[in-house]
Structure 1
Amino acid sequence: MSLFKTRDWWSRSVGEEEEFDQGCLCLGNIDNDTNGLDKIIIGSFQGILRIYNPNPSNANSVEDVILEHAFKQPILQLEVGKFSSASESQKLAILHPRKLAVFNVSVLSGTVEHGSQYQLSLLYEHNLQRTAFNFCYGPFGGVKGKDFICVQSMDGTVSIFEQESFAFTRFLPGALLPGPIRYMPRLDSFVTATSSWKVEAYRYQVLAVASETAGREETQNIKSGKKIAVDWSFNIGEQALDLVYVDYPPAQPFIIVLGEHTVFHLTDNGMLKTAKKLEYDPSCVLPYASLRENKVNYLVGAHTKSLLVYEDTTLKWMAKTEFVPVQLRIGNFSGLKAGIVGLSDSGHLEVMYLGTDPSVFTPPQVEAREINFAAMEAEMAKLMKHVKAKSTNSVITPSVKPEDDLSIYVHVNPNLDEVSMASGMDYQDEDGVPSTTVRIQMKSRLPLENVKLEITCPWPLGCTQSEFMIQRIDPGSPSETFVAVFQRYKGLPSHLYVHISGTFTSAAGGRCVIVTKANLPTKLFLKPVFPVKNAVHKITIDTNRPPVNLNDIFPDMLGQNEGGQGSALGFQFLGGGPVVSLLASKTSQRYRLQSDQLEAIWLPLRELVGRLNNHLKKGQGDFRVSFDGALPLQEYFELIDFHFDLRQSNLQYRELLSQRAAQFRTIQKRLLTRFKDKTPAPLQNLDTLLEGTYRQILALADAVEENSQAERLAANNLSSATYLLNILLKLWLDMSDEEFKVLEATLSPIVSSSEDQGWEETVDASITHLLRTVMAKSAKDQAVNPSPLTPPEDTSKVKKHIALFCDRLGKGARLVEGLKENKEKVVKKHSSSSLVEQSEIIEDKTPVDEMLKGKHKSGQKKKRDKTLGLPQRDQPFSENSLLMKEEDDYKAKSRLKSLVPDLDVLTKDMDDMDDNSSRTNDEDDSHEIVYSL
């Protein structure tokens, strides 16, 4: 960044909504005035030609415009030169897309009140057969006192015009896109930059004689020609933005090539002199003569609004500008010699010079006043408090949110579709698979184009279409999209929502993403059935209100239970899933949920708690739902073990598959070597090994696929069980919403399928962090090292930490700092074999000696039998349990061996085959196996 700025000598804002680029600016004594001062000539893509005679003393900017003319075609480039055969004075050449015109600018003195009148008269013009891109001029062929013009078209052809006459048109070899082109008088050659990132030179004489129309008149409309030999070529390795031929004696002539990231100095015969790597994006380059011998200076304009001065490869000066120049020129004006003229793409025209005049600022004198130190300290304290508040709430990202440009509104139909839109399911349900329609409305503050709408459904959900591309959204006409959501795969739903995201390009040009959720109705996954009397797992919750009729809180999920007493309901998951029975006690304020599958209880429990709150909070008083039973940690730990075992099996299967694949490739190489050998050698049972390995690879691939599906199902069950445990912990401890968010972030119900950072190690690290921070009892607990995020060998640590975590919560620990500790909870252990007779919950008489905390109901302390976790669920290891565990391990290993048979046994079986087959047939069969694979 420079400390200096360019000094503005004269500036104008040209036109309104006009565009300019390289070639739209030139300087010269176009009116052939005797004082030799330059005039500024600019032309826009809108076809407006303007000629300025800058004079800072003119208060009226209109007087600086000496000529303005509107053409019907865009102006691509304009130059001043000796383009007329009748005169050696300066003429103006203007290039249009399909025309090259040469004009004369004349002056009629005293014809108007304020001064002279300038006229623009056409001398001649050439209609072009091809769309033009740019042109260069010079004394082609060594002619004296004249300038010829070379026009380059969009297809890479060059057309030579010798003033009023057309000379010839030639194809440049390998031209795909046009580039900058210049004429080198010393070698009588053209130098241009090609689309292949090369700088090439062609001699004028070679172009002139490369004609296939000998004896016939040259024409622009050619379709073929002789291949033109390149004089020299140099690969610069990047796109050339501009190139300039520099000839300031006594220095040797050379070429400056401005690339996207580098400035190259080439000799006129194609040799590299120097290369300067740029740390910015350049926009234009302009050389000028140096006072030092054999030195050439040049200016480089940058997109950082900077102007940099180089001497060879050394940076000599840098100054800030008010705009990004697309073209620079140096001219002599009245009162300013060698002024720098810059033009921006939006039409900001400025004549400037480099200087170091400082902006003089004299601070005003202030009145002396008596200093009040007490008031100063109070004000300082107030300001420091304000600064501290701002620093803690500082926002690094821009304050403009994506929601300001696009808003997504989602409406889920609470009723199921009359005609289900479900399709592509991998299961069947006797009552059909229902679906619900989700209406997605997108509103924009500004016009947006190409908005991508994505609907992400967590397993086992699915939708009719997951991606939409909205071509345009206007502020007055929002876009509406309808999609049907249903359960596509068989399994327990662990999430009752779908993610909806919209991706678009904001007004600032950046990519923005807006994400929202759509909660789905419970009856999309559950259907009403008759309740089941016996069940393995039971959860009982208490309330402080009399029990309500279940028909009143589940009016939409009665089904076959409609018209009943309202004390028992049954729900079954789709696809023949587990049945969850909901029972309401007649004599107590309790509700029981029971099922043969623990993780299936979470969804009916969540729905029951939500509907009870909505139903009973309408009246007076404080309604509360609580849980005083035993936490099902033992069953929860079994789900963790099962999920972890599948993860380990997945790693083993993949490792074995990798080994067998490497073995298969090795055997293939050896067989191919035997087959290519001119002297046949025995195969030594390599064909048998190849076939056996191939069978093992197929078996292992099937095992990996089956294990992956089982792991995904186990992860889904673990996620559902985690939801259930979190809900029970919230009801057990009467957690606030803030604490429950911390609980779900710690004991996360989102089970990822990552092999490097799985659910077990992530949850273990989160719980360990809480145990050593907000839940720490002493400094010793805070000194515990955090758990590394590496795959564990077993689940003993994570189960131990989860049990300790629940134990600390039961003893009153809080998950958020600054909250008052809870009272210790007394938890009874209910028997799992209790039955329900006539909708009445029968309480078992288990003594209260195994509880989470060491206290009786009376408040007296009782010595605990166990020191860690939840004692009522800790089971001692017996000999039978160890034998059962060893038997399970033996079964798992036997299954793994069955998938990967022993190669020795396989080889022996293959050797016992029919010995009547000849060796030739064996070789042919082996050859067929190798190449068929």
Structure 2
Amino acid sequence: MSLFNVCSWWSVQCGDIAGEYDVASLLCARFGLEAQEKDYIVVGSQSGQLSIYYPHANGFDATDLLLETQLAAPIIGLHAGKFSGNVRNENVNQLGVLLPNAIVIYNVQALSGLAEYGAQLKLQLQAEHKFQRVAFSMCQGHFGQVKGREFFCVVHLDGTLTFYEQDGISYECRFPGQRCLPAPVVYCQRTDSFFRLNATWHLQCYTYQDLSHSLVTKSSYQPIWSQGIGEGILDMRVVQLKESCSYIMILGERNFICLDDNGKFNFILKLDYAPKCFFSFVVGYYFEPGARLITAIVSDAGKLHIYEEANIIWAAQWQESAPVAIQRSNVQNIAGSIVTLTATGQLNVGYLGAQPYQFQVNPLNVEELSFAQAHKQLQQLEDEIKESVDIRDMDALNQQAVDQVRLSFSIQQEIFDDLDTLLLDVPADVAVKELPSAKGQLKIKVKAELAELQLVIQTPNGVRCSQETLSLMNVAPGNTRDISLDFYMGELLHVHSTRVEVFASFVSPRGIPRVIQQSAYLPLSMFYRSCSPQKAAGIKLTYSITSKHVPPKLATFFAEFLEGESEAHALGLQLLCPGLDKLTEVITVVAAKNSNRLRIQSDYVETFAMVLERIVETTLRLDGDAGLLKMDKKKPKRGVLNRCVERIMAAPFMPTQPILHRVDVHHETQENIRQQTEQLEALWQQFKTLQRELQEQSESEPKEALTMQIEANYDHLILEGDKLVEIRRDEQRQRSDLNCAISLAKWIIQALNLEERVVNVVSSVLSVPVEDWTELSWEESMAPGIDMLHHFGPLMRSKSTSTHGLLDGNSGRDSFDYGRFRRHFVTLFDRIVRLASSSTDEQKTKQTQMANADQPQVVQDEIGNMQRMLGDSSVARAGKPHLSSSLEAVEDEEEYDEEDLRDMGYRKDYGPAAATADTKDTQQQQQQQSQRQGKRSEWVNEEFELPTTEELFSDLGIWW
């Protein structure tokens, strides 16, 4: 067929030249301002400029611009309808402007012109609804099939829907599924349902009744039908062609699809061009037999294609750039004009004419090809691609990133009391405590040109920073910046770490992203103050300083608390920021006089984490400064012991009961939150039902009883909401306590005499900080990793129960089994302690044998020994443990210190009992007998070799 031009009748350049426009920036509507009015053209830019045009004749005139105003936020949607109940004239419509954080409803009023000046329009603010989430799009309609009134629904970036009806009544709902991506949502009035495209490219249909009876936390409702589209969509509209059905018109990336409101495909048209926008309309009335479905689709090449259902009936070409929005409008003297808007703000009103389109072929480039120049350009492109995607030499890439951005981060070890609590918005309950603060310095020096640079300062829970983020655009080389930072307590919570991390992520002009990281430690004097040491405690830990370059003195680790007392052997530290009970939480550190051991004891689990972090990190840092700490970045081989043991080693003991108590309390709080949320949802549904019954009653019916029920239900709803807020506060405190407990377990495991890969895997499973989500608690997210460690790898009980136990544990269970998780959690700690105790005993026995006689070294089967000793033990749930023990003198002597270590390492309540001599002899005889008989271990494969750690942990990658 012939290709014609789109004839231009009226055009204008919008006032915001620098602004950007998209498909939601154009609206053609009538507002009922005069008797025989035509369509007004409303344009809104992403920079916030709103313009209303009313074309009168061929060519633009200054009087055609009736309104031009600047809003405070970008305009992301324009709609016209009866959004308020006080509009009595059926022909009057209101203008709805969608902003990122609010929707504003305006009444459009006409002002008559004076003398030769034309008429003007005025916007009167009718209502404004603010959002808690950022908006993405909006749809309108007679939700619930109400008459004479339109409601609107806002789609947010997180997939949540917010409905507004009855002048202020709003509620939210979320579509079911793990991921809710923002996508256009349209409303069908005939079936009173909504259509949306989910993350898997399925078109789903939900009724308004289901969506209006749900909250954000509910996901039990399901779509009434779902249909696979198979690609992403650009836009979607609903038109009613027949009285018995409506059509859903979908413009995909490569196809144009039409479905009816029951989910049945009407046609699928494959497009041989890339579409940009479309508009579908019905010529005639849907209740008439001769109604026609017409669709106009614009391609990226600037061509207009007109279809009647799936058949093309016309094609035309724009003489300018391709538009990003198109609509059909009725203006003066032209019925059915085509209104288009380009991305730069060029507004045009045209029609389909018979002016032919003349296509001229561009002249060919007949220049000779230079193979040397082409090879040079190809080499440059290959170097750029290799620089951006080649990750084989990570050390060189990291060093290159460090050279591009020089980052220096340090925190002073002095504390300050002159914090400006008003300027930093410190809560009143924290400001009253007058807690100390610390100061830091961050220096940035850029060596190369960057397109974007972002700095993020991550602090522990409870600690805040005066400036947490910094973003820079188009950074020139040589740019430097010094930032002074203040670190202070923002909440009265237990802190599990003093480490502060700075992440610098930047993008080069070529689009290559890089990330560098630096860290520093806050001073302990910001969280503790010195006090008298305690002689008795319920939890005792012992660390041995095995490095020769780290003096086992308290002044080595806690110099800020021992000024002038460098030879002190006992130190008491009291937490400055207590938790809920407001108790005096004291931790005592004792250094042995005649050995290299440190004893850390306290009645509270929350006091250990930061002290152990200081001891371990200081030991490793001093060894690193001496050049003795070799950081081998390769994966350690099987059987290689923990490198940290060569510097510092912990006694094999784990305070399982106190840690488990924090887990129990946290889990009970999560259950209380879920129950309280369900109760609030039931009360909210009852409140909405009563409101609708009140609105449906006639004026003659008595309303006193129903009003009293609404007031009582509202008071109950507020009371239960306050309870939920209080439970949320308890959850935050208990999450911080659990952070301290898990950090304590990680610092103990890091210094145990275990295989290094076992330490790494267990540390990766015990994630800190603890996070809880709406649909998944911390216990539920930890359960798969704990379960895998229970059934696979060197921490399993036996080979015969590994796979069988895992399948039995998960089969037929839809809900989370906390009892099973609790048993596995306790068993994990018990097996770690037994394995560490066995390794320590074997190491001592080996050293004794080598000292007594020169015998050939025997390779110990660590996994085999572990299997013989491990057992499935569990600890029953208990209340808060009694934190008391017999008095012990703080003064330490050699003989008593060894006796004390023996008691602490093998307590009957926590640690394993030592094997007797008869048991050891029996095990050795059985092992020798099995070797003489040629029996293999259960883990030996066909090549008579023990499996590698990769084989043992091959299935763990799906969990972390």
**Could you state the TM-score of these two structures normalised by the residue count of structure 2?**
0.47
**Could you state the TM-score of these two structures normalised by the residue count of structure 1?**
0.48
Question: Which structure is richer in relative contact order (CA contacts within 8 A, separation 6 or more)?
Answer: 2
- Which protein is bigger by CA-based radius of gyration? 1
